[in-house]
Structures are given as structure tokens and as C-alpha cells.
Amino acid sequence: MSQSAVVENPLLEGLPRDRAVDPFAMVILGAHGDLTKRKLLPALYALYIDGLLPRTFAIVGMSRTVMNDEEFRKSMKDAIQKYSPDLKFEEETWERFAATLYYLPSNFVDNGSFEGLATLLETLKESHGTGGNHVFYMSTPPSLYEPIITQLSAAKLVSKKKVSEKPWQRVIVEKPFGHDLPSSLALDDHIHHVLNEHQVYRIDHYLGKETVQNIMVLRFANGMFEPLWNRNHVDHVQITIAETLGVEGRGPYYEEAGCLRDMIQNHMLQLVSLVAMEPPTSLESESTRDEKAKVLSALRTIQQADVDLCAVRGQYGEGYIQGEKVLGYRQEDRVAPDSATETYAALKLNIDNWRWADVPFYVRSGKRLAKSLTEIAIHFKKAPYNLFQGMTGLKAGQKTGDDELSPNVLVLKIQPDEGISLKFATKQPGATTQIRWLNMDFNYGTAFGVRSPSAYERLIHDCLLGDATLFSRTDSVETSWRFIEPVLEAWDLAKSKKGPQPRFPNYSAGSWGPAEADELIASTGHAWRRL
């Protein structure tokens, strides 16, 4: 195809181009999987219709499934219409976008398995004006990461490049980034043998959510929050990631991973670092990532003997979710009947630095809990003296000690309804002074009157721009694994039947987790938020 056949995006006309994306070709490895259908292609199509992709680009899908270009385009069209009903779908626009989609079958591991891709990308450089800029998205099982990097290098599709060197080559890696500290270090060594760190984008979709991105704006663009964001005013912090879902047919994966690896090591520690970080010197990506890394480095080491004092694990049994009876974890498909894998984890963290000394951070995550939601709750200290004794609405039978003013709580709601809520005291209207607590709410869905982009839209766009701010850097990944290593070792002993066996199941599906988690937070005089 000649240069005159280049497919351009007419939706760009009249749009601001202050953050222009270079022409590119993106290769999605594992393109027949659910992630591509539910998230990646819908995100790319949304970027296209919003005018955030360049005039010329191409997208290549690769997986073991045998199909041709047209079958791939039809599959992606069906997926977008099924999984992204909020996107404006027009046949003419889709046809233009679909003309950029191509497909190659591959098993990824055989020698020479990427030679056909190299040939296709060279053709697309001419026919679609990609400029030779390439992004390789590894949406595959983690066991394929190292073979894929090896084959990409053998086909001369990736090599070490300087930051400003063109054409550029970038690799997006989905979590998990290793199974433990040694495997994470081995994976990084393998990647860095072929690529420089600035070419590697370790993606964590939680960091692409609007409320998560808004943490920095909330803290550093508002003069009233940052002065209070420290040990002098904050009593403690709670971070919750709760799911009503079970393992959803992923029994073998979850048996190997468990909640600690699946959620705490990546998602939750990343949220902790964003909440607790110092102001960066600029919005340049490395400045922000430096500050996040400092928080992770300041996490107090959990000693092996103290694991049970700082960490709680749980596993769900039978119960009810939204009125429907569900199986316990040990009855799920391809799960061992005596499994010691945790489906719930709660940790008490301490950050040993000047800002957060003696302020506990509590994190919890679990499956088959009462609700599906993710939130960060900043609990401020109570007013130093209660002027309003007897005015806080004591009920008959309550103790005088209950007549205390509750603390103010700032809640960052990450999902399902993204927004911010501030709890504060006010006088109830009337002739007498009665204190009532109200929430001042901000909701992304109603505040701006526009569709909130998905996390993958933001993260893919940032990668295309070369902005790594919201991606995990190798030192942060290593530090996260080092921090949870004592807990992993203690819990893995139980899984291997060589250590003390947990009392599983220890919470019912549809509850808020095991009683031990309540005891963990109560040991320092706190209680989990009622959600």
C-alpha cells in the first residue's frame, strides 16, 4: 500500500493538540483475551473518537487463536458494543477505526515467532505512517513475559534506547510483576537486559481512576487540605478495596496468588504512597515517582515474629450475596478442598517519617464481601475539647462517654461512584442546639456533565505520550515486595502445610470479613468504617 493510502483521523480537526501523540503502532499480545475485549480496545476506540490519537496509527492483535484481519475486526466491534455501551458508536467512525486493526496468530515462544510481526510492522510504517514507533502491550499470562521479551529482542523489535531517541519503543507490562521478591528481581533483570527502565510501563489500572489522579490535585492545589495532611491533624487512614465477586473461574490463578499478592502488594501500596507522599518538586514523572518511592521505603519493616500483630488473613465460606446463596472458596472450581489461600487480607502499616510518625494506615481487601467498593478514608483527630456536651443526640440507655463529637472524615471514593465526601458537624435547625453529622459530597458522574474516561484510556494515552507518572517504577515494585515478604513467607508456610494452619473459612460470604480484622484495628483504639 502506498503512502497515499494512509488512514487519517478526521476527528482531530479543530481540537487542541498541546499533548500530541506521535504516530505509532501498538501490538497487543494476548488480543483474544478478556482484557483486550473489555478494556483495551474500548479504551483505544474512545481515545480515537475523542481525538486523542494521532492522525496516523495502527493496532495489531496477536494471540494463539487463528483468525484473519476481518474476523478480528468483527470480534472487536462486538466487544465494544457489548462492554462499552456508554461510548458513542457510529458505523462510519468505526469503519475508519477498524481499517487500522490487523491480526497475526502466534504462540509467542517459538524461535522466529515474531518475524512475521517485524515484516508487518515495517509494512505499516509505510502504509499507515506509524513512523516506526512501537508499543508492545503484554496482556498475556505472566509466564509468557520473559519469552516474549526474548523473542521481541531476537526479531530486533526492541532494544535499549535513549529517552529522546526516535523512533521509540515501549513495553506495557500487566501485573503481577513477579510472584515474590526473587521472581520480580529476575523478571526485571530479564527486561533490563533488553530495555532501559524508561521504556518499561508497569501498568496498575487503579492509578488511572479519576479519584486516584485527583489525590494530588486535592492535596497540592488546595491551601486548606495540605496544612492538615500530617500527624498533627490526622488520626489514622483506612483504605478499603472490597468485592462481592468470588474468584470467578480463576481458581488455579488465585490458589497461587491469594489476596496479599493480588491486591495488597500492588494496588493498595500504590494508593498508600499517593496519599502519604511529599509534594513533588514538579509534575515531571520522575519527580512524582521519586516521592512515592520514598513513602514505600519508609514503611516500617514487619518482623517475622510480629506478622500476627500486623496482618490478618481470611477465607470466605458459604453465604449470601444480594440474597443469593453462594459457595465457599473451597467449593469453587479448581480450588483445593483444604486450601489455605487467603481471599481477605488486612494490614496495619506504619510510615516512619516526620509527616506520618505514629499515624497508622489500615488497608483491607477481600472477595465475597458485603459490597463492592474502593475508598480511601482520612480520619482527622477529634476536636480537643467538646463544648457541646449533651447536644450530640444521645439516645436513651447510651453512656455519657458516647456523647463525644465524632472526628471529621474525608473520603475519596474510587469506585463504583467516583467522588469525594467530607463529614462534618452542623447544628440541626430548631430552638435547641442539637449536633448532627452531614456529608458534603462531590460526584464525578454529575459534577461535570461529561463521560469520565476509563482508567485504561488515561494510562494508554500517557504511555503513548511517554508520560510514566502513573506507572510503577522498578525500585517501587522491589520495595513493595520486600515490605510484604515476611507476611508472604509466614502465610506461604501454611499453604505448603509446613506451618500452622489457619482456621479457614473464617468469614461468611456477604459479611465484612473475619472478626480478627476487627480485633486488629481495635488494638489501637479504632474501628473499620461502616460502609
Q: What is the pLDDT of residues 402-412, one digit of tens each?
A: 446 678 999 99
Average pLDDT over residues 118-145: 95
The least confident of 11-20, 67-76, 218-227, 248-257 is 11-20
Q: Based on the fold, state whether residues 254 and 148 are members of the same structural domain.
A: no
The reported pLDDT for the residue numbered 8 is 60
Does the structure show a pLDDT above 70 at 17? Answer: no
The reported pLDDT for the residue numbered 405 is 66
Kindly list the catalytic residues.
267
Average pLDDT over residues 360-373: 97
CA distance 528 to 165: 50
User: Is residue 513 situated within a structural domain?
Assistant: yes
- As to burial, measured by CB atoms within 10 angstroms (0-12 exposed, 13-18 middle, 19+ buried), residue 29 is buried
The reported pLDDT for the residue numbered 392 is 58
CB neighbours of residue 263 within 10 Å = 23
User: Is residue 186 situated within a structural domain?
Assistant: no
What would the pLDDT profile of 447-456 be if each residue is shown by its tens digit? 777 777 889 9
Report the domain count for the chain: 2
Q: Based on the fold, state whether residues 161 and 221 are members of the same structural domain.
A: no
User: Is residue 126 situated within a structural domain?
Assistant: yes
Q: Based on the fold, state whether residues 281 and 359 are members of the same structural domain.
A: yes
Q: Assign residue 141 the CATH number of its domain.
A: 3.40.50.720
Q: Phi/psi class of residue 134: alpha, beta or left (left: φ > 0; alpha: ψ in -120 to 50)? A: beta
Q: Based on the fold, state whether residues 158 and 212 are members of the same structural domain.
A: no
Q: Which residues, listed in sequence order, are joined to residue 507 by a DSSP beta bridge?
A: 316
Q: Assign residue 273 the CATH number of its domain.
A: 3.30.360.10
Q: Count, in order, helices (H) and strands (E) of the chain.
A: 16, 18
Task: State what percent of residues in the chain have pLDDT above 90.
Answer: 71
Helix (H) or strand (E) run with residue 135 in it: strand 134-138
**122: Cβ–Cβ under 8 A, 6 or more apart, which residues?**
none
The reported pLDDT for the residue numbered 7 is 53
**459: Cβ–Cβ under 8 A, 6 or more apart, which residues?**
203, 205, 207, 208, 470, 471
CA distance 461 to 464: 5
CA distance 149 to 290: 27
Average pLDDT over residues 425-430: 77
The CA distances from residue 284 to 21, 289, 466, 469, in Å, are 17, 9, 11, 7
Between the two ends of the chain, the Cα-to-Cα distance in Å is: 58
The reported pLDDT for the residue numbered 390 is 64
Q: Based on the fold, state whether residues 245 and 387 are members of the same structural domain.
A: yes
Structure-model confidence comparison of residues 285 and 436, the more confident one: 285
CA 441-444-450 angle, 5° bins = 145
CB 243 within 8 A of CB 367: yes
CA distance 138 to 340: 30
Q: Please identify, among 174, 200, 233, the residue that sits at the C-terminal boundary of a domain.
A: 174
Q: Based on the fold, state whether residues 373 and 499 are members of the same structural domain.
A: yes
User: Is residue 147 situated within a structural domain?
Assistant: yes
User: Is residue 203 situated within a structural domain?
Assistant: no
Does the structure show a pLDDT above 90 at 27? Answer: yes
What would the pLDDT profile of 263-273 be if each residue is shown by its tens digit? 999 999 999 99
Average pLDDT over residues 222-238: 94
Q: Based on the fold, state whether residues 366 and 477 are members of the same structural domain.
A: yes
What would the pLDDT profile of 297-350 be if each residue is shown by its tens digit? 999 999 988 999 999 999 999 999 999 999 999 999 999 999 999 999 999 999
Helix, coil or strand: residue 420: strand
The least confident of 176-180, 349-353, 364-368, 447-451 is 447-451
Q: How confident is the model at residue 506 (pLDDT cuts 50, 70, 90)?
A: very high
CA of residue 99 relative to chain centroid, distance? 31
The least confident of 9-23, 227-241, 289-303 is 9-23
* Pick from 36, 9, 38, 11: nearest CA to 24: 9
CA 190-192-197 angle, 5° bins = 145
Does the structure show a pLDDT above 90 at 396? Answer: no
The reported pLDDT for the residue numbered 153 is 96
The least confident of 83-87, 444-448, 523-527 is 444-448
Q: Based on the fold, state whether residues 222 and 298 are members of the same structural domain.
A: yes
User: Is residue 407 situated within a structural domain?
Assistant: yes
Q: Based on the fold, state whether residues 264 and 168 are members of the same structural domain.
A: no
Average pLDDT over residues 22-39: 95
Pairing of strands 169-174, 134-138: parallel
Q: Based on the fold, state whether residues 217 and 327 are members of the same structural domain.
A: yes
Q: What is the CA radius of gyration of the chain?
A: 25
Does the structure show a pLDDT above 70 at 245? Answer: yes
* Pick from 223, 233, 221, 215: nearest CA to 276: 215
Does the structure show a pLDDT above 70 at 398? Answer: no
User: Is residue 418 situated within a structural domain?
Assistant: yes
Mean pLDDT across the chain: 90
Provide the 8-state DSSP code for 442.
E
Strand ranges for 184-276 from DSSP E: 200-203, 234-242
For 432, the domain range is 208-522
Q: What sign does the CA torsion over 138, 143, 149, 152 have?
A: negative
Q: Based on the fold, state whether residues 135 and 268 are members of the same structural domain.
A: no
User: Is residue 529 situated within a structural domain?
Assistant: no
Q: Based on the fold, state whether residues 493 and 437 are members of the same structural domain.
A: yes
